[in-house]
Amino acid sequence: MLTLALLSLVLGAGLGTRYKVLVLLSAIICALPVALLVGLYLYGTAGLVIFTMTSTVVLLQIGYLAGVVVQSRLQNVQRAESTSSAGPSLSH
């Protein structure tokens, strides 16, 4: 379960840095059957299977949000560096 949770978080972050939000729907559709099979294999009870599927979807979304924030911060830093280096140089 922990492996699936970490994988969902990292996959969501990777998607968040590269793609628009619509890719998240495709990722959720692909991840739900995997979470269902993992939940059935590990637990077998309906409540824990639903918990596994829900946590997978939530962690994908949290990872996506984290990826978007990281990408936004990196773009801001790159913009700040490019504007500060574009000005006239005072050193000789």
Q: What does the pLDDT profile of the chain (92 residues) look like in tens digits? A: 889 999 999 999 999 999 998 999 999 999 999 999 999 999 889 999 999 999 999 999 999 999 999 999 998 988 888 887 655 555 55
First to last CA, the chain: 60
Residue 39: inside a domain:
yes
Report if residue 23 sits inside a domain: yes
**Residue 28, in any domain of the structure:** yes
Neighbouring CB atoms inside 10 A of 31's CB total: 20
Which domain range does residue 11 map to? Answer: 2-80
Contact 71, 17 (CB under 8 A): yes
In a domain, residue 37? The reply is yes
In a domain, 88, yes or no: no
Instruction: Quote the number of domains for the chain.
Output: 1
